Structure 1
Amino acid sequence: MHSIFKACDIRGLYGQELTEEKVRRVGAAVAVLLRRRGREVRVLVGGDVRLSTPSLKAALLEGLTGSGAACVDLGTVPTPLFYFARRRLGVPAGVMVTASHNAAPHNGLKLVLGELPVTGEELSELRALAAANCHEPAPGSVTSLSIEKDYSDFLLGAADELLPPEARRLRLVVDPGNGSWAGLAGRLLRDAGCQVGLLNDVADGRFPGRDPNPSVPTHLAGLGARVVAEGAALGIAFDGDGDRVAFADDRGRPVSSDAAAMLLVRALVPSEPGARVVHDIKCSQAVADEIRRCGGVPLMERSGHTFIKTRVLVEGALFAPEASGHYFFRVLEGGDDGLYCALVLLGALARAGQPLSTLVDALPRYATTPDIRVRYPGDPAPLLERIAAAFPPDQVSRLDGVRVQFRDGWGLARPSVTEAALTLRFEGRTEPARAAVQAAFLAPVPELAALLP
């Protein structure tokens, strides 16, 4: 049971780490925890298109209703519709069966137990209850409900606000990746008056068209080719459950999440001087610089849905970009919705009156490594302490691992929550600056430097 509980959710390889029996136990534990904390035992339930989702969702509902939960079953929906339904219906808790961007053999659970995202303490308590097979027999119920019409009305209203008339003249290519937006995102965009070409638009939990993680540039090759072939202005790709989004420009090139973030900053922040914008610890320094340039206040937060969304809600932040392709918005009560984000970017593109490739090429660009994953079987804590101790305290952040700010860049080392490994990332304003930052960051720990490729 321990291995499937991650920092923000539950995930594992279906049939081995994650089974129906474990999910049934988690369902019962959710109901028990809600009751013990004096909350209404009413739970919203949804699921993605993975082949294992129907049986896991049935097990979840069995556990919930067996311990007295009144469940509202949304059926198969993208995760943004799940969060929308929770806001619209006022249901206090929810469980979405999905492994998000993970490969097809995986599955998992995203949980909401109150107004703020699920906390580490709550996940630990759920894990203990589920491991003990704790349940409190009581009559429960399941009511099926479709939220699609309500969400459609919301999105079309948002499109009217976000899209100038010229946006309807721009051609889009939409790639749901055979995931939860398949058959829906393209139709909604067409209903909003957009010109839409489609790729991988049939829901298939095997994800035959491409990997469900669109934040890897090579996974957007098909989308980029289609954008060029159709002469489209923008390519839009979603992950398996539809909360992440990635973009391709009019030349078919993947747009980095940092570049997308900066374009969104330019679109949103100038209209609200002093707006707070949360960004995750892995975002480029160029993002924070752009927030300041546009009159906003950048707030750094550790990576992860729970941490970013909670900070957005606590700070009343305007929005929050995350390096992984999640974009959180205050107007969505801190939620992330890949399709809504695509509308914001499309509106900004139309108002700019220039090709997306031109806008992207004009953005500041620093030399940034991808995540560098290094196997480290020992305890990483002493190693991280040595890095932190080697630099002045005002240069060091312990928000997530160790991040050291240098004059011309930064370095980051974070322990993995899923395996015996460290993830590192380095950035400099130029490539020589990046190399100098990396050398200085690793100097206190030569044994770690020796492990880098």
Structure 2
Amino acid sequence: MDLSCFKAYDLRGRVPEQLNPELAERIGRAYVDVTGARRVIVGYDIRLSSPAIAEALTAGLVAAGADVYDIGLGGTEQVYFATSHYGMDGGIMVTASHNPKDHNGMKLVASESRPISSDTGLNDIRDRVAGDFEDAAEPGKVQSLAVMADYVAHLLGYIDTGSLAPMKIVVNAGNGGAGLVIDALEASLPFEFIKVHHQPDGAFPNGVPNPILEDNRAATAEAVIAHGAAMGIAWDGDYDRCFFFDENGRFIEGYYIVGLLADQFLRKTGGGKVIHDPRLTWNTLDLVASAGGEAIESKTGHAFIKQRMRDEDAVYGGEMSAHHYFRDFAYCDSGMIPWLLVAERLCQSGQTLSSLIDARIEAYPASGEINRTIDNPPAVIAAIEQQYGADALSVSHVDGLSVEFDRWRFNLRMSNTEPVVRLNVEARADRGLMQAKTDELLAAMERLNGEIGQA
């Protein structure tokens, strides 16, 4: 049995070779055997293969004795919301997020929407899938559960709707599921939504929704300019990530959104802890301190961030990859709460998004994440540490290699899935220094890759 769809955090694979209804049914059975769950939320995304996989998954859960609460077509965060809000034992979302359209997958959570990843039960489920199963003495039941009204009410609870003013906002669902939520929110907000690629369509007629790819940004940017909008927002397929464009159509690096959201959230809560990843940090540290909060660094990845947030009772957590986590959202990531908070900030401050962001880019210019294919990533990273570490103010290994100097810093980390290293560089109010050090590090990596490869 091909179980290659089981990854570190979730399931992803090509349909039907790596994931199909037969395997999905066995995953449902194994999920119940391993977790003991008796009440399980099931949802699915807009992919053409999702309904059949969700139906088979549900059959497996029911055969194993679990009651299934079917929330239907939606986004990953609606499974998170429903699992925690209704006090369920677990939840499973059928989605492959931004993977190619012939792929599908699953994201699994336990009670309170705690992530199930390789070290918290996912490997146990994988190992159980290939075994024999017996039907439960009493099969579970299936019932539909309408969550949109409660979910929308929860989203609106993060903002002061009385402080909002009319504003044009471009929204690009990428033919994923986000458009359904925008339509449900629309009546409660004074905004005029310019809707781009709005209708859910698993054939992805405008390409797979993944705004992190530069080729996928033009439609949003052009619509912002054409309509004179205050900002643009684009989502991936299951809309647990959102991406921002300012009023000039400029794509905003996720790093600066983390700082903006931390600041906005701490203003509301009057302080608290904020979790951030180690790749780029100075802007976040500055804004969190100014807002009376405490910034805490965590290893990159949703399972690590969510656990650290629970440990610290943090109000907000952010990754530069456009994942944003909220304590009152079961410590889970949402692609809807962030843009509501940014829209609220624009209305309350009277500032443009570009003016809010430009000041931060000037204070802490950053390279953005740069990927390079390396034959021997551990050896190259070790050599970089040897070259730069001796004169550094600090060297950290929380996630990859972080090296800090007085005026600049960098993080270099390996990909979990490919022979690639990811570089991020930032400086203090000196774009020239940031660029020079970025070029210097890239040249050193290329040289070391050649030397180590020939050794």
TM-score, length of structure 2 as denominator length? 0.88
Tell whether the 8 Å contact from 1:174 to 1:199 is kept in structure 2 after alignment.
yes
Query: Structure 2 counterpart of 1:32, which letter?
Result: D
Alignment partner, residue 49 of structure 1:
46
SS in 2 for 1:254: coil
Alignment partner, residue 144 of structure 1:
144
Point out the more displaced range, 441-450 or 82-91.
441-450
Alignment partner, residue 35 of structure 2:
34
Tell whether the 8 Å contact from 1:164 to 1:351 is kept in structure 2 after alignment.
no
**How far is 1:65 from its partner?**
2.0
Q: Residues 202 and 441 (structure 1 numbering): CA distance in 2 closer, same or farther, change over 3 Å?
A: closer
Distance, in Å, in 2 between the alignment partners of 1:104 and 1:451 is 38
**How far is 1:64 from its partner?**
1.8
**How far is 1:147 from its partner?**
1.0
Distance, in Å, in 2 between the alignment partners of 1:423 and 1:90 is 39
**How far is 1:383 from its partner?**
4.7
Distance, in Å, in 2 between the alignment partners of 1:444 and 1:215 is 24
SS in 1 for 2:342: helix
1:55-100 deviation line (CA, Å, top 9, x unaligned): 2112212222222222111111122222111122110111100112
SS in 2 for 1:54: helix
Matched, 1:269 2:270: no
Alignment partner, residue 447 of structure 1:
448
Tell whether the 8 Å contact from 2:39 to 2:88 is kept in structure 1 after alignment.
yes
Q: How many residues align?
A: 443
Distance, in Å, in 1 between the alignment partners of 2:270 and 2:443 is 39
Query: Structure 2 counterpart of 1:373, which letter?
Result: N
1:58 to 42, 55, 59: 55
Q: Residues 3 and 438 (structure 1 numbering): CA distance in 2 closer, same or farther, change over 3 Å?
A: farther
Matched, 1:133 2:131: yes
Query: Structure 2 counterpart of 1:133, which letter?
Result: G
Distance, in Å, in 1 between the alignment partners of 2:196 and 2:275 is 32
Query: Structure 1 counterpart of 2:240, which letter?
Result: D
SS in 2 for 1:182: helix
Alignment partner, residue 4 of structure 1:
5
Distance, in Å, in 1 between the alignment partners of 2:229 and 2:184 is 17
Distance, in Å, in 2 between the alignment partners of 1:65 and 1:239 is 31
Point out the more displaced range, 21-30 or 337-346.
21-30
Tell whether the 8 Å contact from 2:81 to 2:330 is kept in structure 1 after alignment.
no
Matched, 1:290 2:290: no
**How far is 1:270 from its partner?**
3.7
What are the ranges of 5 or more consecutive residues in structure 1 without an aligned counterpart?
A: none
1:311 to 308, 311, 321: 308
Query: Structure 1 counterpart of 2:427, which letter?
Result: G
Point out the more displaced range, 388-397 or 291-300.
388-397
Query: Structure 2 counterpart of 1:369, which letter?
Result: S
**How far is 1:396 from its partner?**
2.6
SS in 1 for 2:4: helix
Point out the more displaced range, 179-188 or 67-76.
179-188
1:372-419 deviation line (CA, Å, top 9, x unaligned): 3333455x4455455556636972322223222233333333232223
What do you get for the CA RMSD once the two structures are aligned? 2.7
Tell whether the 8 Å contact from 2:383 to 2:448 is kept in structure 1 after alignment.
no
Tell whether the 8 Å contact from 1:25 to 1:134 is kept in structure 2 after alignment.
no
Matched, 1:415 2:414: yes
State, as a whole percentage, how many aligned pairs show the same letter: 33
Tell whether the 8 Å contact from 2:169 to 2:192 is kept in structure 1 after alignment.
yes
Point out the more displaced range, 431-440 or 395-404.
431-440
1:229-285 deviation line (CA, Å, top 9, x unaligned): 222112121110111111111112112212222222332224545521111222353
Q: Residues 376 and 41 (structure 1 numbering): CA distance in 2 closer, same or farther, change over 3 Å?
A: farther
Point out the more displaced range, 381-390 or 406-415.
381-390
SS in 2 for 1:243: coil
1:86 to 80, 83, 96: 83
Q: Residues 81 and 124 (structure 1 numbering): CA distance in 2 closer, same or farther, change over 3 Å?
A: same
SS in 2 for 1:252: coil
Distance, in Å, in 2 between the alignment partners of 1:314 and 1:173 is 37
Distance, in Å, in 2 between the alignment partners of 1:90 and 1:133 is 30
The aligned runs of 1:47-446 (5 Å cut-off) are 47-115=44-112, 116-121=114-119, 122-130=121-129, 132-138=130-136, 139-158=139-158, 161-165=159-163, 167-272=164-269, 274-365=271-362, 366-378=364-376, 380-388=377-385, 391=389, 395-429=394-428, 430-436=431-437, 439=440, 446=447
Tell whether the 8 Å contact from 1:67 to 1:140 is kept in structure 2 after alignment.
yes
**How far is 1:442 from its partner?**
8.0
What are the ranges of 5 or more consecutive residues in structure 2 without an aligned counterpart?
A: none
Q: Residues 384 and 18 (structure 1 numbering): CA distance in 2 closer, same or farther, change over 3 Å?
A: farther
Distance, in Å, in 2 between the alignment partners of 1:13 and 1:413 is 30
Tell whether the 8 Å contact from 1:49 to 1:205 is kept in structure 2 after alignment.
yes
Query: Structure 2 counterpart of 1:416, which letter?
Result: S
SS in 2 for 1:253: coil
Query: Structure 2 counterpart of 1:149, which letter?
Result: A
Q: Residues 377 and 233 (structure 1 numbering): CA distance in 2 closer, same or farther, change over 3 Å?
A: same
Q: Residues 436 and 148 (structure 1 numbering): CA distance in 2 closer, same or farther, change over 3 Å?
A: closer
Tell whether the 8 Å contact from 2:280 to 2:411 is kept in structure 1 after alignment.
no
SS in 2 for 1:342: helix
1:165-191 deviation line (CA, Å, top 9, x unaligned): 4x2311212111111122331341333
Q: Residues 3 and 375 (structure 1 numbering): CA distance in 2 closer, same or farther, change over 3 Å?
A: farther
Q: Residues 76 and 433 (structure 1 numbering): CA distance in 2 closer, same or farther, change over 3 Å?
A: closer
Distance, in Å, in 2 between the alignment partners of 1:313 and 1:394 is 31
**How far is 1:217 from its partner?**
4.3
Distance, in Å, in 2 between the alignment partners of 1:329 and 1:28 is 31
Distance, in Å, in 2 between the alignment partners of 1:136 and 1:385 is 51
SS in 1 for 2:111: coil
TM-score, length of structure 1 as denominator length? 0.89
Q: Residues 136 and 281 (structure 1 numbering): CA distance in 2 closer, same or farther, change over 3 Å?
A: farther
Query: Structure 1 counterpart of 2:152, which letter?
Result: S
**How far is 1:346 from its partner?**
0.6
Distance, in Å, in 1 between the alignment partners of 2:218 and 2:438 is 32
SS in 2 for 1:247: strand
Query: Structure 1 counterpart of 2:203, which letter?
Result: R
